Amino acid sequence: MKRNNPKRNSFSKDSFDYDEEKDRFISPNGEVISRKGEYEYNGKHVYAYYGANCGECPEMRSTVEWLAKRF
């Protein structure tokens, strides 16, 4: 698993760990964000990820925006 060093904002992209073997992210809160699919959008290959508890997270909006730009 790749571990990143968190910066000041606990929900910056650097604070998420990526588990290559299982193709998933681990949030700073320890929540698993798993890949649920893939599709093509505007000629680009996009992966869709899902976190079961993301709706309860106050930082969800910034997190979702970062994940959308990840690939």
Establish if 59 belongs to a structural domain: yes
The pair of structure tokens assigned to 35 is 């890949």
Q: Has residue 19 got a pLDDT over 90? A: yes
Mean pLDDT of 58-63: 66
Establish if 17 belongs to a structural domain: yes
Establish if 49 belongs to a structural domain: yes
Establish if 1 belongs to a structural domain: no
Establish if 3 belongs to a structural domain: no
Give the count of domains, the chain.
1
Instruction: Compute how many other C-beta atoms are within 10 angstroms of the C-beta atom of residue 65.
Output: 9
Report the chain's mean pLDDT, rounded to a whole number: 77
Mean pLDDT of 16-25: 92
Q: Quote the CA–CA distance of 67 and 49 in Å, as a whole number.
A: 8
Show the domain range for 24. 13-69
Indicate the pTM of the whole model: 0.62
